[in-house]
């Protein structure tokens, strides 16, 4: 893929990613409310909330917090642009991890005890899901003979046929990536978080608005990873991938509303076991075939 293609893809993702992510967030709230016996907010409520945040006065505990958050959003958008322009999947993984590191640095820069606890937990979450994400990229290379996402459009069958164990592993760590219970240890949109708002405790106004937009972009990117497993040369596969992505997102919402949070020790052990069993076994089998 050329640099121009990546730049165009990044620009389009910067425009469309937050829109799709906002609609998914609104759908999340409505479905969660119905599962809890409530009517729920309107579909565009996440947009109204973020717009209100940008209308507030910018108040930060230091001058670097907003810079770190802006860098985190920038790299999240860049990762989405690389992926949806058909670029290098491994590079996409590294860039989105860099975005997470900037977000962690933003929380640590506030010197707030609650934010530091949230940042420590966020670091732990990165340690939990990163092995599985890297194994996903390696397995994708083995199945498609390339790290370029665009190669799936040339295959005679979807990559999930050969790396289905990796797909199951991705579904497990997706709960961590989407910040859903039982693995929402560092930050939660619900009132059951014992560390207040966790990693975003000291963030407010436009800075918190950027965090919400970053979360929307991340959700669109991660769900794109899910859809990637079901796309091949047949144009109908794109519609199939969209249906499966929506089904997976519904499953994540159901898990979020039906499971209590777990301790970090369980998250760490289970994520690494899944990575070694699902990802490791699948990669090893493909390596010897």
Render pLDDT for 36-57 as a digit per residue (tens, 0 to 9).
Answer: 888 889 999 999 999 999 998 8
Quickly tell me which residue has 């989407």 as its tokens.
178
Q: What is the pTM of this model?
A: 0.93
Confidence of residue 276 (pLDDT cuts 50, 70, 90): very high
Q: Bigger pLDDT: 188 or 58?
A: 58
Quickly tell me which residue has 């690494």 as its tokens.
272
Least confident of 30-44, 53-67, 81-95, 188-202: 188-202
d(CA 86, CA 152): 9
| pLDDT computed for residue 201 by the predictor | 80
Task: Tell me what percent of the residues of the chain surpass a pLDDT of 70.
Answer: 96
Confidence of residue 61 (pLDDT cuts 50, 70, 90): confident
Does residue 11 register a pLDDT over 60? yes
Q: Please state the rounded mean pLDDT for residues 106-128.
A: 89
| pLDDT computed for residue 39 by the predictor | 87
Rounded to 5 degrees, what angle do the CA atoms 72, 253, 103 make? 15
| pLDDT computed for residue 37 by the predictor | 87
| pLDDT computed for residue 18 by the predictor | 96
| pLDDT computed for residue 259 by the predictor | 86
HEC string of the chain equals: CCHHHHHHHHHHHHHHHHHHHHHHHHHHHHHHHHHCCCCCCCCCHHHHHHHHHHHCCCCCCCCCHHHHHHHHHHHHHHHHHHHHCCCEHHHHHHHHHHHHHHHHHHHHCCCCHHHHHHHHHHHHHHHHHHHHHHHHHHHHHHHHCCCEHHHHHHCCCCHHHCCHHHHHHHHHHHHHHCCCCCCCCCCCCCCCCCCCCHHHCCCCHHHHHHHHHHHHHHHHHHHHHHHHCCCCCCCHHHHHHHHHHHHHHHHHHHHHHHCCCCCHHHHHHHHHHHHHHHHHHHHHHHHHC
**Which residues lie below 8 Å from residue 82, measured CB to CB, with a gap of 6+?**
6, 9, 10, 88, 91, 92, 95
d(CA 184, CA 264): 10
Over residues 229-246, the pLDDT tens digits come to 999 999 999 999 999 999
Q: What residues pair up with 284 in beta bridges, in sequence order?
A: none
Over residues 188-215, the pLDDT tens digits come to 665 555 556 678 888 888 999 999 999 9
Does residue 278 register a pLDDT over 60? yes
Q: Please state the rounded mean pLDDT for residues 83-111.
A: 93
Cα 188 versus chain centre, distance: 14
Does residue 182 contact residue 152 with C-beta atoms inside 8 Å? no
Does residue 49 contact residue 243 with C-beta atoms inside 8 Å? no
Q: What residues pair up with 159 in beta bridges, in sequence order?
A: none
For residue 179, give the nearest of 5, 1, 25, 282 by alpha carbon.
25
């Amino acid at each position: 893929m050329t640099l121009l293609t990546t730049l165009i893809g990044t620009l389009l993702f910067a425009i469309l990613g937050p829109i799709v992510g906002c609609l998914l967030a609104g759908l999340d709230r409505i479905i969660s409310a119905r599962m809890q016996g409530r009517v729920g907010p309107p579909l565009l409520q996440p947009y109204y909330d973020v717009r209100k945040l940008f209308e507030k006065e910018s108040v930060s505990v230091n001058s670097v917090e907003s810079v770190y958050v802006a860098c985190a959003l920038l790299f999240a958008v860049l990762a989405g642009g690389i992926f949806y322009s058909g670029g290098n999947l491994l590079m996409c993984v590294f860039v989105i991890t860099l975005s997470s590191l900037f977000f962690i640095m933003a929380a640590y820069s506030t010197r707030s005890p609650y934010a530091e606890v949230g940042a420590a937990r966020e670091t732990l979450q990165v340690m939990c899901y990163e092995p599985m994400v890297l194994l996903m990229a390696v397995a994708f290379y083995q199945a498609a003979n390339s790290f370029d996402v665009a190669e799936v459009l040339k295959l005679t069958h979807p990559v999930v046929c050969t790396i289905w164990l990796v797909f199951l592993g991705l579904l497990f760590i997706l709960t961590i990536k989407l910040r859903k219970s039982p693995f929402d240890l560092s930050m939660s949109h619900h009132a059951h978080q014992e560390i207040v708002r966790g990693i975003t405790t000291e963030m407010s106004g436009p800075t918190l608005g950027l965090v919400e937009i970053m979360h929307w972009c991340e959700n669109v990117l991660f769900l794109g990873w899910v859809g990637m497993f079901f796309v091949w040369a047949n144009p109908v596969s794109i519609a199939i991938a969209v249906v499966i992505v929506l089904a997976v997102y519904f499953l994540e919402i159901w898990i979020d509303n039906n499971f209590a949070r777990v301790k970090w020790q369980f998250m760490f052990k289970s994520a690494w076991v899944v990575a070694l069993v699902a990802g490791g076994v699948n990669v090893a089998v493909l390596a010897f075939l």
